[in-house]
Structure 1
Amino acid sequence: KDEVYRREMRQLESSWYSREQVERSKVRIQRLPYVESVAINQSPVAGRPDQVDLDVTVTERLSNEFSVGAGYSQNQGILFNVSLKQENFMGSGKRLFVNAARSAAVNDLRVTYTNPYYTADGISRGFTAYYRETKAKENLVSDYISDRVGGDVHYTIPLSETDSFRFSVGGEQRTVTQGDESPDHITQFLDKHGNEYTQILGSVGYVRDTRDRTIFPTKGQKHSVKLDSALPGSDLEYNKLTYNGSFYLPVTNDIIFSAKGRVGVGKGSGDLENLPFFDRYYAGGIRSVRGFKQNSLGPKDTEGKSQGGDFVTSASAELIFPAPFMSDAKSFRMSTFVDAGNVFADQDDFDAEEIRYSAGVGAIWLSPLGPFTLSYAKPLNKKDGDEDQVIQFSLGTTF
């Protein structure tokens, strides 16, 4: 609908012309997930030398998608997925997402509905309901099985053109059972706290986003700070504070420099000193420190598996460029990168000498089955006990 695009315009009709507002309008429309490209051209009004018309041309992506597919991850094996995604539901700009996914590690059913203009001034409201079963052993971490069902309501309040405040509140019922190879720290935790938890979950966050687009951005920054809490009244009370940042700078018309960083810290509350074992941070893998096996970094349990930690830090620097053999492809990018990071038992255990580094090349293709990500990376300071994985890839649904 025309209204969906008009509400993103910051250059208003019958108002003073502003180049800045025209450019901002273009960026806002371009960042809609169902827009491929947008052009705004001006032309003089006949007989009105002090007036111009703006012609807005929008090329849309496929906004309604039903897919039945499969993919493959080195970490989780074959992935099956059935989903219905409508980014522009009935032409209203509302978003509906229904997803059912299955792999060796995860069974997931999720429904999300979001109205990005719940109020006329741009406050969004959404609802999520989900069921998720996780077999942690298949993720190469400490062995346990987690079943959880829950839901939440979430809001985003715009503070400016680039800044927003977000919060959510919801509830969850979780049941955890031991696996055949559960280590001592899980057995001790379940003996002390039981294996069924009713949780009241809340989050607050701040986001600043100046990127020119959400898919393959070429300039701008995104910074987010989020506090996730299991609130008083929950069977287990704890807090996680996480920062994620990314920066994009065009070097040439085709080459983009990108830098990303992440810092997370968690702590228990009440009778919990640390995060529960099923909600810890992990590091290593294609979405963290490439060249090291998925979730393999950091403290190990009594079975020799990664048990995660309460403090994580990671960073990467990349040069992103189109493939030399297909420079006109809008859905394919390559990169050369350096990664760094690790996870620690808590912030007091942080040791800069334990940061792991890697370097390599990568590629991402937005295929019909979902994103295909490939990396070839070499650890630069592998130590005893580290598990490397030089070639890493993932195809299809991400869990």
Structure 2
Amino acid sequence: MKLGITLRHILLFVVACYTTSAMALEPFIVKDIRVEGIQRTDAGTVFNYLPVKVGDTMTDEKATQAIKSLYGTGFFKDVRIEVDQDVLVITLQERAAIADITFSGNKSFPSDKMKDGLKQIGLSEGLIFDRSMLDKAEQEIKRQYLSQGKYGASVKTVVSPMERNRVGIRFDIEEGAVSKIRSINIVGNQSFETKALLEQFKLTTPDWLSWWNKNDQYSKQKLTADLETLRSFYMNQGYLEFNIESTQVSITPDKRDIYITVNISEGEKYTVTDVKLAGEMLLPEDEARKLISVESGEVFNRQKVTDSSKAINDRLGNDGYAFANVNAVPDVNKDAHTVAFTFFVDPGRRVYVRRINLTGNTRTRDDVLRREMRQLESAWYGADKIERSKQRLDRLQFFSDVNVETPAVPGTTDQVDLNINVTEKSTGSVMFGAGLSSAEGVVFGVTVNQNNFLGTGNRVSAQVNTGKVNTVYSLSYTDPYFTPDGISRGFDVYRRDVDTSRLSGNIGSYSTSSYGTGVRFGVPLNERDSVGAGLTFDYTSVDLTSSSPIQYRRYCNGNNSNSTDGCENNSLLLNLSWAHDTRDNVLFPNKGVYQRISSEIGLPGLDLQYYKIEYKHSWYKDVTPSVTLMLNGEAGYGDSYGDNPFPFFKNFYIGGVNNVRGYQTSAIGPRFYDSVNDRGYAVGGTKRLMGNAELFFPVPGMKDSKQLRLSTFFDAGSVAGDYKYQVGGVDRTLSTSVTDLRYSVGLGVSWFSPFGPIKLVLAKALNAKNETEDPNKPYNDDKTQILQFQMGSQF
């Protein structure tokens, strides 16, 4: 009975709110409208919400509509309508506005970031104050702290009235300490040790890297992902019936320590007894079976089953069957612990791409994107062509994100559209940088690049890089689509200065200044192969000193080996190359092959008549998802074919942080004794051979880092040639072989830091040769270097 009376009184009160303010209005013509009580709201805003204007007839119905309309704005907490001699009087009481939002005690999140977060839920300075939003704001702030593992965080809100019907809101925050995972316990495991299972988890108890990766802070999402990883681990080991029975997460009363317990049931290990194919087979059965990696007689592996279904699905997608479905149905024998699989293939309808729609490219022209498309409009759908198109757009480096969708065309069963949305990024840069190298010392550089000049996809670059050994000034322009078929054309102008006297005494002293200009072309043969050709006119002046080796002085001055005069050389250089690239990533490849053959030929008719040929072959294999094996081999050969000898400043050198580590830069190879300076100089050679085997792996605790990785390596290399010298005035020749290799092993760190790439190497030379200096003939005296480094881009 009391409840009934209460509800009736509430109902009467609500009705009174509408009727008392507009009770028994006699219809009248509105001569004027007056608004009272407003402090912040503009009168025009009120007029916009009124259903009546001056000159209209005011009625009870319109008065009720006006009250509802003004209440509905949310600006007012009280609305009254009165009449004063045919003047409509609107009396309003505004709701308070939020004048200020402040925070105290927040150390983990800056106040401006917290304000941005609250704005997303409707609480912001200048908005109408709604007390119901405070609880929501408190929960949002707590949620942010929970994401950082601070389960003891508390939030209190203080609302302070201010002048002009405004309020100030202050959030008093006690962050508390970060809750740490103190124990992760797995119960029920018999086949694997707990330590091996915990290695599958990203969540860990505190260790030396926890300050960086925060993996000792509990997250429900992370735990869910870890449990799925654990399930996959067991499934891939044959445990078909594996199950996670329960998971308990407990926290101590002081909210500092978290304990996780996972109860599992392993079940029995299953063996595959048979693999069959069924359904509509559009592929030859032999070809389809080659795509299935599951074999009869082996232990069940869920990953292999998933990969097999995907391989068949992708193969059908390449032929236009975009909606193919391949389902692996198991036939489980629980008594014998065996399982047989039947792959049911449903190709669906073959579809073609109706239209390619491009969005997001506000600066880049459409044709720059379309020329990278390998999937064509009005052609059969090809999953491999679409994926290759996406890869080519990514490799342009014009976009931070490339999103591809293939929605079905409404009203059809055999058509899809290819929607490509790109997010453009800045393609122009002016970089003022510095590098540091154990060989070059400090290197300063200024680089101006525009890789997408005026949205055309053309590249313009200007560089100035100065080091104590190498100095480069260059300007280049490249049109990657000089022809519609993808033939590129580029122009280069450069100056390069080399001063070997500043290279730690490893190389015979000389300096060169080269000026040149050239044109080059690149011709794609297919998606992975290309050839290049270029023609460059080069002028090189050689300066010698009294400490320059006799071989250098003879090159410039014939038999007058005592002269320190230099020489000048004009040459017309022909560059030819072929490249094959299947790497999945240019910076940090995980798999694929890169091959390149390049040649440099000094054409007849000018001073330099020589040729150099180089070959490089790099092979990458992902041993595990985070470990990559790299095998690299390089060979080079040079010789002259005219009257003049092979130019010594074109010799090959080896040794240093970028080839055979553990040896000083260019330190490997025969040396000649210089009596003036009482030391030996390496002179390089016309033959070069090098090999590297390197295993790349992530930094422990940072498996997902794309910027930092470790490596262990084995290097081998040598240079060789025919070296002329004199003994007692008689000319002699020493011929060496590139099979006289030097070896080294070591550890390396590569980091693509915000300051540029950094490389740090700790290496040990295994068979350095240190012969006694002999002023009468070439000798070996390899200079070693245990610690080597390079910071910044070396051009």
TM-score of the aligned structures, taking structure 1 as reference length = 0.94
Amino acid across the alignment from 2:764: K
**Shift, 1:358, TM fit:** 1.2
- The question of whether the paired residues in 2 share the 8 Å contact of 1:332 and 1:365 is answered with yes
Structure 1 contact 337–359 (Cα < 8 Å) conserved: yes
Q: Would the aligned equivalents of 1:145 and 1:179 in 2 still touch at CA under 8 Å?
A: no
Q: Is the 8 A contact 1:81 1:397 kept in 2?
A: no
Q: SS in structure 2 opposite 1:150?
A: strand
Q: Structure 1, residues 175-220: CA drift from partner, whole Å, max 9, x if none?
A: 1011342111111111129601111111111111122232222221
CA 121–57 in structure 1, closer or farther in 2 if over 3 Å, else same: same
Q: What's the counterpart of residue 153 of structure 1?
A: 519
- Counterpart of 2:541, as a letter, is T
1:143 pairs with 2:530 = no
**Structure 1 pair 198–288 and aligned structure 2 pair: CA distance change class (3 A):** same
8 Å contact from structure 1 (residues 371, 395) kept in 2: yes
Relative to structure 1, is the Cα distance of residues 90 and 297 closer, same or farther in structure 2, using a 3 angstrom cutoff? same
Report SS of the residue matched to 1:30: helix
**Residue 76 (1) aligns with residue 446 (2):** no
Say whether the 8 Å CA contact 1:246–1:258 is kept in structure 2. Answer: yes
Aligned-pair CA distance for 1:111: 0.5
2-structure distance, mates of 1:201, 1:151: 10
Counterpart residue identity of residue 553, structure 2: T
Amino acid corresponding to residue 219 of structure 1 in structure 2: K
Pick the aligned partner of 1:253 from 620, 625, 628: 625
- Between structures 1 and 2, the one with greater helix share: 2
Q: C-alpha displacement at 1:367, in angstroms?
A: 2.7
After TM superposition, the runs of 4+ consecutive aligned structure 1 residues lying more than 6 A away are none
Does residue 164 in structure 1 map to residue 164 in structure 2?
no
Which residue does the alignment assign to 1:48? 412
Of 127, 132, 144, 2:491 maps to 127
- Structure 2 distance, partners of 1:331, 1:3, is 33
Q: Is the 8 A contact 2:471 2:497 kept in 1?
A: yes
Give the AA of the match of 2:641: S
Q: 1:57 deviation in Å? A: 4.6
Aligned to 1:393: 789
**Deviation per CA, 1:133-186, whole angstroms, max 9, x where unpaired?**
110122331100101111110000111111111100010111101134211111
SS at match of 2:671: coil
Partner letter of residue 290 of structure 1?
A: R
Say whether residues 1:268 and 2:647 are aligned partners. Answer: no
User: Which stretch has the larger CA shift, 52-61 or 9-18?
Assistant: 52-61
Q: Cα–Cα, structure 1 residues 26 and 247, in superposed 2: closer, same or farther, change >3 Å?
A: farther
Q: Equivalents in 2 of 1:73, 1:33: separation in Å?
A: 28
Query: Is 1:324 aligned to 2:696, yes or no?
Result: no
| Cα displacement (A) at 1:109 | 0.7
| Alignment counterpart, residue 289 of structure 1, candidates 632, 657, 660 | 660
Q: What residue identity is the alignment partner of 2:619?
A: F
**Which structure is larger by alpha-carbon Rg, 1 or 2?**
2
Q: CA deviation at 1:382?
A: 2.2
Change (3 A) 1:39 1:313: farther
CA distance in 1, matches of 2:590, 2:722: 36
- Structure 2: distance between partners of 1:48 and 1:286: 60
Equivalenced residue count is 397
d(CA) in 1 for partners of 2:461 and 2:588? 22
Contact 1:34 1:88 in 2 (8 A): yes
CA positional deviation for 1:62: 4.5
Alignment partners' CA distance in 2, 1:252 and 1:37: 26
In 2 relative to 1, CA 28–198 (structure 1 residues): closer, same or farther, beyond 3 Å? same
CA distance in 1, matches of 2:426, 2:705: 17
Unaligned runs of 5+ in 1: none
Q: What SS does the corresponding residue of 1:21 show, helix, strand or coil? A: helix
Deviation at 1:102, TM superposition (A): 1.1
2:582 aligned with 1:216: no
Asked whether the 8 Å contact 2:757–2:791 carries over to 1, the reply is yes
Counterpart of 2:736 (choices 344, 349, 359) is 349
Q: Name the aligned partner's letter for residue 335 of structure 1.
A: S
Deviates more, 1:161-170 or 1:179-188: 179-188
Matched-pair contact (CA < 8 Å) for 1:33–1:214:
no
Q: Residue 55 of structure 1: CA displacement?
A: 3.5
RMSD between superposed Cα atoms in Å: 2.0
Unpaired segments of 5 or more residues in structure 2? 1-363, 560-565, 675-679, 724-734, 771-780
- String of CA shifts for 1:54-93, please: whole Å, max 9, x gaps: 3435456652211111111111111111110122222221
Secondary structure, counterpart of 2:558 in structure 1: helix
Larger fraction in strand: 1
Once the two structures are superposed, the pairs formed by residues 4-23 of structure 1 within 5 Å of their partners are: 4-23=368-387
